[in-house]
C-alpha cells in the first residue's frame, strides 16, 4: 500500500462496529472534517480509521456528498487498480453464470457486488456501464478492460442519472469499446424485447422485473391484459408469451412503445398487442370512464419516492395509481402494483396500495409479493439495494 495514502477518521460518536460488520457507507456527519479531509478530491482512495486511529477499511472519498466514504475493501492495505476491479467483476460473473437468462442480466449491482455506485447490465456481447460514484467514473477504462476480458466487445458508458448529480459528476454517454446502432434483441420469459442501449431509459431494459413478469404471465393465460407504464413491453409482452389473449400497453414514451410493438411483431403477436401513448393517470381515468375491464392489470411506474424528501408525495401517487387501476380490473381479476422507490419500504408501499384499493370500493386478497431477481442481489446491511417491490392482488368483487 502507498504509505502516503490519505486517512480519514470516524468521530467518537460514530459506530465503527457497523463498518467492521460490513456496512458499506460512511455518512458525512460521522467523519472528522478538517483541512486535509476537505482537500481530498472526489473519488480519492483513503484508509478509514476508527476514533482511536485503528485502520478499518479501504474507502473511496467524496466530501461533497452526503455519503462521505464508501467501503471498497475490508483490507486497509488493498490496492484498488484494474486487477482489483477485474477480480470483483469475475466474482459477480461467476454467480450470474449459474442463473437462467444466459448472457442477459444485471452483471454488477453496486454495493451488493462489492463495487459501490456501479451498475452494469449485460446484453450478450454488449454491456452498459453506469459509474454513479466518482471513484468508478475515473476508472471507466479499467471497467471496460475487465468487461473485454469476459468476451464483451461493446461497452457503453452511460453517464447520466440523478445519482451522478449527487456525486457532483457530469452527464454524457459514449462507447468505450465497439459500438452498436440498432436495438439489442433480448429473449426473457419467452418474450422478445428490444433494448435501446443508447437512447432508452436507464440501460435500455429492466432486468429486475424478470421473476415478476414470469409470475404475472402465469396468471394471464387467455386473459385480456393492461400494462400501464409499460416501457418497452415489460409485463404485456411477457403475458402474451404466457398465453394472454390480448395486451394493451400504456406509456408516455413513443420510442418505448414503438420498441414494444416491434417486440410483439417479432413474437408473431402484433395483432394481439396495442399501444396507447399519453399520461398514465389520464389514460387510466379515460379507460375507466369508458367502462373498459381487463382480467389482469399491471402498473409499474417510475420511482415516485426516490429519496426521503419525496416519500409523502410518492406514497400518495402510489395510492392514486391503485385507486385508478382498480376499476379497470374485472371481478375475480388480478392487479399487480410495483414500486422501485427504495425510500418507500415494503410496509409503506403495501399500505398505500391497500388504501387505494379500499378507496376504489373493492375487496381484494394479496396473493403474491415479488422482488428483484437473483441477478440483483441485496446487500444484507443496505436496505437501499433491495428497492423493488411487486404486489399482486386478486379482486373479489
Domain borders along the chain are: 7-73, 82-177, 184-395
- Other beta carbons less than 10 A from residue 61's beta carbon: 25
Contact 338, 301 (CB under 8 A): yes
Which CATH number is 82-177 given?
Answer: 3.30.750.80
The predicted structure's pLDDT at residue 3: 54
Query: What is the tens place of the pLDDT at every residue in 28-86?
Result: 999 999 999 999 999 999 999 999 999 999 999 999 999 999 999 999 999 999 999 99
Catalytic residues: 340
Q: Are 237 and 248 in contact (CB under 8 A)?
A: no
Enter the pTM of the model. Answer: 0.95
What Å distances lie between residue 321 and 5, 32, 335, 338, CA to CA? 51, 45, 11, 10
* Cα(363)–Cα(27) distance, integer angstroms: 44
**pLDDT of 238-297, one tens digit each?**
999 999 999 999 999 999 999 999 999 999 999 999 999 999 999 999 999 999 999 999
- CATH code linked to domain 7-73: 2.30.130.10
Please name which of 86, 93, 87, 126 lies closest in space to residue 109, comparing C-alpha atoms.
93
Domain 184-395: what homologous superfamily? Vaccinia Virus protein VP39 (3.40.50.150)
Listed residue (68, 43, 69) closest to 57, CA to CA: 69
Q: What is the mean pLDDT of residues 126-147?
A: 96
Q: What is the pLDDT of residue 200?
A: 80
Q: For 84-112, what is the mean pLDDT?
A: 97
Residues 6+ positions from 18 with CB-CB distance below 8 Å: 381
Please give the distance of CA 71 from its chain centroid, rounded to a whole number: 21
- Mean pLDDT value across residues 91-103: 97
Q: Find, among 212, 366, 373, 227, the residue nearest to 298 by Cα.
A: 227
pLDDT per position as a tens digit, 295-352: 999 999 999 998 889 999 999 999 999 999 999 999 999 999 999 998 999 999 999 9
What's the rounded Cα separation, in Å, for the pair 233 and 219? 17
Amino acid at each position: 500500500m502507498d504509505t502516503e495514502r490519505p486517512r480519514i477518521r470516524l468521530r467518537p460518536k460514530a459506530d465503527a462496529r457497523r463498518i467492521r460488520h460490513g456496512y458499506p457507507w460512511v455518512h458525512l456527519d460521522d467523519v472528522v472534517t478538517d483541512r486535509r479531509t476537505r482537500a481530498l478530491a472526489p473519488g480519492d482512495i483513503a484508509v478509514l480509521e476508527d476514533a482511536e486511529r485503528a485502520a478499518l477499511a479501504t474507502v473511496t472519498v467524496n466530501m461533497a456528498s452526503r455519503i462521505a466514504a464508501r467501503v471498497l475493501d475490508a483490507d486497509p492495505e488493498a490496492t484498488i487498480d484494474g486487477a482489483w476491479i477485474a477480480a470483483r467483476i469475475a466474482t459477480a460473473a461467476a454467480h450470474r453464470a449459474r442463473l437462467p437468462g444466459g448472457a442477459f442480466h444485471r452483471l454488477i449491482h453496486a454495493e451488493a457486488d462489492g463495487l459501490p455506485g456501479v451498475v452494469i447490465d449485460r446484453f450478450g456481447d454488449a454491456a452498459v456501464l453506469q459509474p454513479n460514484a466518482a471513484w468508478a467514473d475515473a476508472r471507466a477504462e479499467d471497467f471496460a478492460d475487465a468487461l473485454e476480458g469476459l468476451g464483451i466487445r461493446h461497452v457503453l458508458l452511460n453517464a447520466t442519472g440523478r445519482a451522478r448529480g449527487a456525486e457532483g459528476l457530469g452527464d454524457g454517454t459514449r462507447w468505450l469499446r465497439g459500438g452498436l446502432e440498432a436495438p439489442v434483441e433480448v429473449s426473457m420469459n419467452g418474450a422478445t424485447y428490444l433494448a435501446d442501449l443508447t437512447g432508452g431509459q436507464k440501460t435500455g431494459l429492466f432486468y429486475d422485473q424478470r421473476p415478476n413478469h414470469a409470475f404475472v404471465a402465469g396468471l394471464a393465460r387467455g386473459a385480456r391484459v393492461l400494462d400501464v407504464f409499460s416501457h418497452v413491453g415489460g409485463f404485456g409482452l411477457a403475458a402474451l408469451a404466457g398465453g394472454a389473449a390480448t395486451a394493451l400497453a400504456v406509456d408516455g414514451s413513443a420510442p418505448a412503445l414503438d420498441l414494444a410493438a416491434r417486440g410483439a411483431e417479432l413474437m408473431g403477436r402484433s395483432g394481439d398487442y396495442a399501444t396507447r401513448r399519453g399520461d398514465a393517470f389520464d389514460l387510466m381515468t379515460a379507460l375507466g370512464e369508458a367502462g373498459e375491464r381487463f382480467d389482469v392489470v399491471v402498473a409499474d411506474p417510475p420511482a415516485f419516492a426516490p429519496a426521503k424528501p419525496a416519500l409523502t408525495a410518492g406514497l400518495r401517487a402510489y395510492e392514486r395509481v391503485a385507486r385508478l387501476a382498480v376499476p379497470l380490473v374485472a371481478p375475480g381479476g388480478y392487479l399487480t402494483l410495483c414500486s422501485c422507490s427504495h425510500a418507500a419500504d415494503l410496509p409503506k408501499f403495501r399500505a398505500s396500495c391497500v388504501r387505494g384499493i379500499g378507496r376504489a370500493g373493492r375487496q381484494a386478497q394479496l396473493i403474491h409479493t415479488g422482488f428483484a431477481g437473483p441477478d440483483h442481489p441485496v446487500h444484507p446491511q443496505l436496505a437501499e439495494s433491495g428497492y423493488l417491490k411487486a404486489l399482486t392482488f386478486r379482486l373479489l368483487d
